[in-house]
Amino acid sequence: MPTGKTVNILGISALYHDSAATLIRDGNIACAVQEERFTRKKHDRQMPTHAVEYCLKEGLLKGEDLDYVVFYEKPLLKFDRILETYFAYAPKGFRQFLMAIPLWLKQKLHIPRELDKALGGGFRGKFIFTEHHESHAASAFFPSPFSEAAIVTLDGVGEWTTASVGIGRGNKIELLYELHFPHSLGLLYSAFTYFTGFKVNSGEYKLMGLAPYGRPVYADLIMDKLLDLKEDGSFRLNMDYFTYCYTDVMVGRKFEQLFGGPRRKPESPITQREMDIAASIQKVTEEIMLRIVHFAHEKTGMKNLVLAGGVALNCVGNGRILRESPFENLWIQPAAGDAGGALGAALFVHYQLLNNPRNVDEQNDMQSASYLGPVYSNHDIRQYLDSVGACYHFFEQEDSLLQQIVTCLEQGKVIGWFQGKMEFGPRALGSRSIIGDARNEQMQSRMNLKIKFRESFRPFAPSVLREQASEYFKLPPDKESPYMLLVAPVRESKRTKLNSEQEKLSGIDRLKVKRSVVPGITHVDYSARIQTVDAKRHGRYYRLLQKFRQKTGCPLVINTSFNIRGEPIVCSPQNAFHCFQSTNMDVLVLENFVLYKNEQPQMKQIEIDSYLAQFELD
């Protein structure tokens, strides 16, 4: 290994779900990005060649300048799990097995060769493989603002592990307890995602959003029949009801019988049954999360907790952990799913293997607002806009730019907001966001149906000035949620009194009622998935919110990801302009440029249709 120079570590996650690459330089996160943002294929699982190319370009590096390339899991161990599972269930699953094997033989068992290809063949450093849950755990602990913490990881499955409890101290992590496949909280949640007609590994978020419309009438049944849950949060699933070990669907007939009929067909109407099932599995999930977290506290005696793994994106569960667990402080990796594994794997090498010291700043995590992706200058943007004949207004001064956007927000306009570095992780955090006035009663349905082309039941989240967050939400004043990973209730003082008729409404009809002074972000159970926005992390986005508050008294806006249904969040000005032109968005802000829809060359319907058709419904 070369000495006396910057050590460059490239972290990779790929070939399962949400491929990503990240570059760590002397312990700093130089960049991190998901492959889907470049290929425009949501959750793209291919070897992340575009993300790698971006990381190298960002670091002004070639493949040969890298010291370590780290893959986020151990393929041989994972293959072992697949073989053992097959033999345990054989001859069931033979077709599945036959379908999986060619890809393993061709690609997944030859990761170094595949990585080398992605790097252009010049890499001379060392390949390292970390374990899947080690990568998640490292992604939770090392970037956190804690010098020591309990670690909990929860996801579908890696090699064998599906959940772990560990401890992080200084520059080391250690996993102490594990739960193994097929007993998995992530897969349990995904089974219900599948059963309610949503897409596995993608629609889990929708299931969580649907839960407040239902009543948890099946929770006891789930506890009774589907799992054997212990006091410490560990559990065994009753595999008679699940088929994911030997088919490519999650559940079979026995499961259907238990819940009174077949699964909802995707895209068919959602009934009270799905809402009640969503509420039930959400309740069970929260119970398991809380028990595991209590166990982690008991075993580690720590006051800080860090979380990662796909289940850590369950922000309703996270909100309960914050309010109800014995831990004083909580930090969650924003890219909690497998994309974040790339980051964890690279940090694991830097700290754990190379034994580099870790200097913790208790006031700041090292995730940099998760603004870790590509950025485009005003110069780049102007060039692009000129090339497509777009009509734009350039604001030299930020102040007048923000003034103008505040006016547009007040007028009820829906605004595409594109600023600075793109977010790493599934949430838009004010860099590639669509924003609107949350006080506007029409905003929720307009944004869902006319802008995002997605299901009407789906809630929107607020970005709120950190200083004012606890005025609107039951979030302790000393707590923050900069990564939109916590749900908290809207304060009673901000709620609207319902009349007796409104009280009686059930299911989707509850959507029609104005529930607070900020109806655009108040879910039917008065919850909100909050992003707190602060001056240090969020720069211009913070200043926009401040201006909006000065003018209107309201310290928050609706913030949803800049994309349509099934589309990865926009990355480039080109992606943003196409999305803007193909939807009913009113205004587009690209750095210092403002574009109004009514001034643009009109897109032909056929062009709009072909744009929308590119993205498979999620």
Q: Which residue has the tokens 């299901």?
A: 455
Least gap, CB of 190 to Fe ion (angstroms): 12
335 contacts 19 by C-beta, under 8 angstroms: no
Closer by beta carbon to Fe ion, 137 or else 401: 137
How far out from the chain centre does Cα 422 lie? 14
Instruction: Determine the residue type at 465.
Output: L
Q: How far apart are CA 606 and CA 613, in angstroms?
A: 10
Provide the greatest CA pair distance for the chain. 73
Least gap, CB of 32 to Fe ion (angstroms): 16
What stretches of 505-566 adopt beta strand conformation (E)? 527-533, 556-561
Q: How many CB atoms lie within 10 A of CB 141?
A: 32
Residues that bind Fe ion (CB under 5 A): 155, 338
Q: Which residue has the tokens 């149906």?
A: 449
Least gap, CB of 182 to Fe ion (angstroms): 15
161 contacts 179 by C-beta, under 8 angstroms: yes
Instruction: Determine the residue type at 118.
Output: A
Instruction: Quickly list DSSP for 140-186.
Output: HHTTSS-SEEEEEEE-S-SSSEEEEEEEEETTEEEEEEEEETT--HH
Closer by beta carbon to Fe ion, 186 or else 216: 186
Least gap, CB of 416 to Fe ion (angstroms): 31
Closer by beta carbon to Fe ion, 214 or else 340: 340
Closer by beta carbon to Fe ion, 114 or else 338: 338
Q: Which residue has the tokens 């196409």?
A: 578
**Dihedral in degrees, nearest 10, Cα atoms 425, 344, 323, 441:** 0
Closer by beta carbon to Fe ion, 207 or else 533: 207
Least gap, CB of 344 to Fe ion (angstroms): 10
Give residue number: closest CB to Fe ion: 155
Closer by beta carbon to Fe ion, 134 or else 286: 134
Least gap, CB of 412 to Fe ion (angstroms): 41
Closer by beta carbon to Fe ion, 197 or else 340: 340
Least gap, CB of 282 to Fe ion (angstroms): 20
Closer by beta carbon to Fe ion, 155 or else 423: 155
Q: How far apart are CA 448 and CA 115, in angstroms?
A: 40
Least gap, CB of 136 to Fe ion (angstroms): 6
24 contacts 347 by C-beta, under 8 angstroms: yes
Q: How far apart are CA 601 and CA 403, in angstroms?
A: 26
